């Protein structure tokens, strides 16, 4: 996970200082409260494994050489894929110098081909494999990337990651952001930009491929909008900082009320 976060206006967060050597994000369990312990028949304070699908994200903290990227991703995939229900390949973190270059089709294609080959070797052909994209790509480049991903045989896309666009921050905070230096912005301010990218992708993504919406989502109305746009799943990150873990239940109740 990012090593530093700065909270800004409009519930927007600057994430900087890079990544751990490998980002292998996962939620595997929750600590049980007294009331839930009695209901579930377990001891208070026990950790209970979540039965919902678990995914992990692969991302490099630094790029040695672009030619060695496949080797790096294969090593990580081999380690984590047997333990989870799906894997997301993060080639779009702005906190890793050079990582976003891997979104270019000429670099992305061999990575996906190599990972799909490894997935078959491991007997995990049915395990979903996703790629996470940045919100800062020119649409012409984005279209070419989506075309390459659609032709690759992977399961789908996640969009978007954090943005380098300081325009999503208010004028009064922009100087502070610049003073803090590099890092990706996430949270509520990203929502409009992420949605524009989402809709561009969904207009071109074959219906057989799944899409996970991410970027600035923090309310049931936004989650419903993402699903209405065509997303199969919705991810929340920065909103959890401001609302806490109860946000997930709130979103689910809000979506249920709309159905």
Active site residues: 93
Measured N-to-C along each axis, helices 191-204 and 139-152 cross at an angle, to the nearest 10 degrees, of 50
What's the rounded Cα separation, in Å, for the pair 101 and 204? 22
Q: What separation in angstroms does the CA of 11 have from each of 7, 172, 239?
A: 7, 14, 8
Mode of pairing for the β-strands spanning 12-16 and 184-187:
antiparallel
Question: What span, in angstroms and rounded, lies between the C-alpha atoms of 134 and 94?
Answer: 8
Any residues with CB less than 8 A from the CB of 102 and at least 6 apart, and which? 63, 66, 69, 91, 108, 111
Q: Does residue 192 sit in helix, strand or coil?
A: helix
| Residue keyed to tokens 């900082």 | 241
């Amino acid at each position: 996970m990012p090593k530093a976060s700065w909270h800004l206006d409009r519930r927007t967060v600057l994430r900087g200082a890079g990544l751990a050597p490998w980002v292998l994000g996962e939620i595997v369990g929750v600590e049980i409260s007294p009331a839930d312990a009695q209901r579930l028949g377990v001891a208070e304070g026990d950790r209970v494994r979540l039965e919902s699908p678990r995914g992990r994200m692969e991302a490099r903290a630094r790029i040695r050489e672009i030619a060695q990227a496949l080797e790096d991703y294969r090593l990580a995939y081999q380690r984590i894929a047997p333990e989870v229900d799906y894997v997301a390949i993060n080639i779009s973190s702005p906190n890793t110098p050079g990582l976003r270059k891997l979104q270019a089709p000429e670099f992305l294609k061999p990575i996906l081909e190599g990972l799909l080959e490894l997935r078959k070797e491991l007997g995990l052909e049915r395990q979903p494999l996703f790629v996470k994209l940045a919100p800062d790509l020119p649409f012409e480049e984005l279209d070419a990337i989506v075309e390459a991903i659609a032709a690759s045989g992977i399961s789908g896309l996640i969009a978007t990651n954090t943005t380098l666009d300081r325009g999503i921050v208010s004028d009064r905070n922009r100087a502070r952001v610049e003073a803090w230096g590099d890092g990706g912005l996430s949270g509520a301010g990203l929502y409009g930009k992420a949605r524009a990218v989402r809709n561009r992708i969904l207009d071109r993504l074959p219906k057989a491929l799944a899409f996970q919406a991410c970027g600035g989502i923090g309310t049931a109305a936004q989650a419903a909008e993402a699903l209405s746009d065509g997303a199969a799943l919705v991810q929340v990150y920065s909103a959890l900082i401001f609302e806490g873990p109860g946000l997930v239940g709130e979103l689910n109740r809000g979506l249920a009320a709309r159905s």
